[in-house]
Amino acid sequence: MHNSDNINNNERRDFIKLTVLGAAAAACGSAICSCSKDKQPKDGEKVKLLSADGELVEIDAKHLRPIPKTVVVSKEEARRGIPGRKFVMVIDLARCGNARKCVTACQKMHHLPEDKEWLQVKLMMDSPDAAPYWFPKTCFHCDNPPCVKVCPVDATFKRQDGLVLIDADRCIGCKFCMAACPYSTRVFNWSEPEMTQEMEGLCYSPETSVPSKVGTVEKCDFCPDMVRAGNLPDCVTACPNGVFYFGDENEDAVSNGDETVRFSQLIKDRSGYRFAEELGTQPRVWYLPPRDRLFPVERSLEGMPENLKDRFKDVIKEM
Amino acid sequence: MKASISATEHLKYFAPQIEKVSKSTKAWIVFLLMLIALGGVALYQQIAYGHIVTGMRDNVVWGLFIVNFIFLIGISYAGAILSGLLYIFNVQWRRPIVRISGLLTIAAGLIGPIFILLCIGRFDRMYYLFLYPRLQSPIIWDVMAICTYLVGAVLYLYLTLIRDFSLYSDAEFLNIPNWKRKLYKTLSLGYRGTEKQKSQLKSATRLLAIVMVPLVVIISSVLSWIFGMTLRPGWHSSIFGPYFVIASILTGVGVIIVIMWIFRRLYKLEDFLTDKHFTYMGFIMLVLAAGYGYFTFSEYLTGWFGSEKWDSEVMHKLFDPAQYGWWFLWSNLFAIVLPILVVAIPRLRKPGPITLAAALMVLAMWVKRYLIVVPTLETPLLPLQDTRTEYVHYAATWQEWALTVGGLASFLLIFIIFSKIVTIVPSSDYIDDEKVAKN
C-alpha cells in the first residue's frame, strides 16, 4: 500500500513538472516508466529546449524528468479498456518475406529473451500441392475467446475495446488457457525471467505485460500502452514491408504506418479472411491472402541462418 | 466365510492388525518415507528453479502431474461409487470390500489433488480460486466437485467406522495403548448400539450412500470436462464424461482387487476375503472392461473414420508404431481384452490370475491417461515450428517421476496407517450375525 502511494505521489509530482516543461520534456522522452529509479544527470549540464511559448530556453538538465514512452493506467482501467474503440488488425500475407523485424521489435518492446516469441512467423503450406507462404501470427484477440472462458480466476479477460489481456498478478499458472487456445499463442514463464538493466524499476501493468513474472502466462497484447499514447504497436511500425495494419473497427480505418485505409474496403477488395473461422472463436485479426507475393518463399529462404531455416524443415521437404 | 462368527471373536482374530506394528511393516514405512523424501527433493527443486525442471513446455503444458491427478482421483471416485452401490443393494459379500474401497477413496482422494497443486505455476496464489472464482471455468467446477466429494467421502467412511470404533474402545482384551482407546472412544461419538442409534446411523449411512452414487457420476464427468471443454482433438468429445466415469470405476475395481490380494496375503484373511470375492469382483471388472472397450472403440472409430485433418493428426500419432502406436495397442489389450479373457475363462477365474490381470489393467489405464493428455497437447493446430526438441516432445524429467513415486508412496503409507487404526474387515458387521445366530 505504502509503496503504491509513493508511486502515485511520484506520478503526480512528475505530472506537475511535466506541465511546466511542456513539450520540452516530451522531446527527450525515454522509455523509462514513471516508477523507475531516476537517473540523475550531472550538475551544471545545460540543455536547450523550445518552450510552449515558442521561446528557446536553456535549463539545467537535472530539472528534466523523463516521461514514459507509454501510458501507465490503473488495473481497473487496464481491465476496462479504451472506451469507444474496437481494435482490429489486418495482416497482408502477400507482403511478408519473413524479415522477422516484427519479432525482434516485439521482443525489444517487451524485454523478451531471444527464444521467447509472442509474435511468430510460421511457414505454412496448406496441402502438398498448395503454395507455401509466410504466416505472421499475433494473438488473435478473439471475440469469443476460448482462453478467457476457461480461466478460473479472471486473470485473462476480454476488454470493451476488443483486446484480450492477462493480469500476471492474478494468474495462478494453471495453464488451462494455454491448453484451450487453439492457436498456441500463449507462453509460460517456466523459470524466473531474466531481469536486464533496462527493465529495472519498470512497473507491471496488464497493458504493458512487462516485466514477466515466473509461473504465469503471457502473450501478445497488441501494445495497448502504445495505442493509448496514439502510436501503432511496435510490430506494425517495425515491418519494412507494411504487412501489419492496425486500427479501429469503429472508425473503419487501419494503418500500416505508411498508408491508412478503410478496413471494410480492404477486407472486401482483397478477400480478407480470418484464420480457422470454423472454430468459432471470431478472431479480431484478419488475413489478406498471399496473392501476387512480393517475396517468393524460396528466395526468402536463401541466406536465412541455418538454425532458423531448421524450424521450417518439414515444410521445406514438401516444397 | 464363517457365517456365525461373533463380532468379538472376529475382533480377536483381527486384533494383531491394530495392536502392533510388525518389523516388516516398520521397514515398509521407512522405505516409503524415503521415497516421499525423494519426492521432497524434487519438489524443492521445482520451487527453487521453477517449472523449468519439469518436462512441460509451452505446447505440452500438462504432463505426468495431470496424468497422476486424473488417475488417482478416478480411483478415489471408484472406491466411493462401489462402496455406495454395494451398500444400497445390500450385497451380502460386500463387507470386507466396502472397508477397503472406503479407505481407497480417502487415500487416493487426498493424494490426487496434490498433483494438481504441483502442476500449478503459482502455488502461492491458490487461494485466488476461492477469492476470485469465475463460474464458467471448468476448473472452478472441479474445485467445487472435489471439495463436495471429499466432504461426502470422509463423512461416509466415518459413518461406516463409528460402530467399529465403539467396538474397539469397549473390547477389554485389545492390547492397545490408552491414548488409542481414548481416541476410539472419542471417535465413536458415544455410540452404544441402542435401537435408536442403530436406526439413525443406518439411515444416515444409507442416505450418504445414495448421495455418493450420482455425485461420483457428476464429478467424474466434471473431471473429464477439463479436457472436453477445449477445442482440441482427442479431448473435445461428447462421450468424454461417461468415458471417464467408466474408466475411473474400472481402474478403481482393479486397484481394489490388488489391495484385496495383498491384504489377504499380509493378514491371512483367506476366511474373509474368499475366492468368491475375487470372482465377484472379477465379474464387475469384466462388465466394466467391456463397457470401457465399447467407449474406446466408439471414440477412436469416429475420430479415425471422420478423418478431419486435426483429428487425424492425433489419431496418426496414436496408431503409428514409431510414435505412440505400441503404447496405444498394449494399453488397450491390457485394459480391455485381458480382464475379459481372464474372468471369462473358468480355468483362469482364480484369485491369482484375476489379480495379475487387474494389476496389468491398472498399469494400462495409467498409460491410457498419459495417451489422452500428452499426444493431444503435442498436436497443436498450427505447425510446431520449433528447433527446441523439449518444446516439441514431452519427456518427463526425474523430478516429475520422483514426485510421482513420492505420491504413490504417500498413498500406500496412508493405507498402512489406516490399517493400523481400523480392521480391514469391519468387525462390527458381525454384531448383527450374532443376533441372528442367537435367535
Give B66-119 pLDDT, tens digit per residue: 999 999 999 999 988 888 888 888 777 877 888 888 888 999 999 999 999 999
Write the pLDDT tens digit of every residue in B326-372. 999 999 999 999 999 999 999 999 899 999 999 999 999 999 999 99
Predicted local distance difference test score (pLDDT) of residue A23: 37
Of A151, A189, A311, the CB nearest to B387: A311
Contacts of A250 (CB under 8 A, 6+ apart): A84, A85, A86
Query: How confident is the model at residue B15, as a pLDDT?
Result: 77
Across residues B50-57, what is the average pLDDT? 94
Please report which helix (H) or strand (E) contains residue A121, including its range: strand A120-124
N-terminal to C-terminal alpha carbon distance within chain A = 59
- Above 60 in pLDDT, residue B3? no
Distance from CA of B313 to the nearest CA of A (A): 14
CB contact under 8 A, B121 and A179: no
Least CB-CB distance to A190: which of B51, B119, B226?
Answer: B51
Average pLDDT over residues B212-223: 91
Candidate ranges A179-183, B2-6, B216-220; pick with highest mean pLDDT: A179-183
B387 close to A310: Cβ distance less than 8 angstroms:
yes
What count of other Cβ atoms lies within 10 Å of the Cβ of residue A213? 19
B100 vs B103: CA distance, rounded Å:
5
Give the C-alpha separation, A208 to A203, whole Å.
9
For residue A167, the model assigns a pLDDT of 95
pLDDT for res A223: 93
Average pLDDT over residues B389-406: 94
How far, in whole angstroms, is CA B22 from its chain's centroid? 26
Can you tell me whether residue B363 is helix, strand or coil? helix
Q: What is the pLDDT of residue B61?
A: 94
Q: Which of A35-49, A87-101, B289-303, B360-374 has the lowest mean pLDDT?
A: A35-49
- State the smallest CA–CA distance between residue B69 and chain A in angstroms: 14
- Mean pLDDT, residues B42-55 taken together: 94
Q: Residue A157: in which H helix or E strand, if any?
A: strand A156-158
Residues with Cβ < 8 Å from A33, sequence gap 6 or more?
A68, A70, A72, A201, A202, A203, A208
Confidence of residue A68 (pLDDT cuts 50, 70, 90): low
Q: How far apart are CA B97 and CA B85, in angstroms?
A: 12
Which of A169, A277, A289, A110 shows the shortest CA–CA distance to B122?
A: A169
Q: Which of A55-69, A230-244, A295-309, B147-161 has the highest mean pLDDT?
A: A230-244
Over 70: is that where the pLDDT of B141 sits? yes
Rounded-to-integer distance, Cα A149 and Cα A133, Å:
32
Mean pLDDT value across residues B309-315: 92
- DSSP H helices, A139-238, are 146-150, 176-180, 224-228, 234-238
Across A133-137, B91-95, B313-317, least confident range? B91-95
Contact between residue B241 and residue B249 where contact means Cβ atoms under 8 Å apart: no
pLDDT of residue B5: 63
The per-residue pLDDT for A29 is 37
Partners of A121 in the beta sheet? A136
- Mean pLDDT, residues B18-31 taken together: 87
pLDDT tens profile A226-256: 998 899 999 999 999 999 999 999 999 999 9
CB < 8 Å to B230, chain A: 146, 150, 179-180
In sequence order, the 6+-apart residues with CB closer than 8 A to the CB of B235 are B227, B228, B372, B376
CA–CA dist A93, A295 (Å, integer) = 10
Place of cell 471448468: B138
Confidence (pTM)? 0.87
* B159 and B80 Cβ atoms separated by less than 8 Å: no
- Partners of A214 on chain B (C-beta within 8 Å) are 50, 121
Q: Three cell numbers at A155?
A: 486473470
B435 pLDDT above the threshold of 60: no
Cβ-count burial of B409 within 10 angstroms (0-12 exposed, 13-18 middle, 19+ buried)? buried
CB contact under 8 A, A191 and B382: no
- Contact residues of B toward A, CB < 8 A: 49-52, 56-59, 61-62, 119-123, 125-126, 128-129, 131-134, 136-140, 143, 226, 229-232, 377, 380-388
- B61 vs A116: CA distance, rounded Å: 16
The whole-number pLDDT of residue B415 equals 86
Gap between the Cα atoms of B219 and B86, Å rounded: 20
- Say which range, A28-42, A155-169, B346-360, B407-421, has the weakest mean pLDDT: A28-42
Residue B61 in 3-state DSSP?
coil
> CA geometry: angle at B329 spanning B285 and B378, to 5°?
110
Query: Which one of A172, A186, A217 has the shortest CB-CB distance to B125?
Result: A172
Report the residue from B49, B133, B231 with minimal CB separation from A182: B231
Instruction: Write the ipTM.
Output: 0.90
The radius of gyration computed from the CA coordinates of chain B, to the nearest angstrom, equals: 23
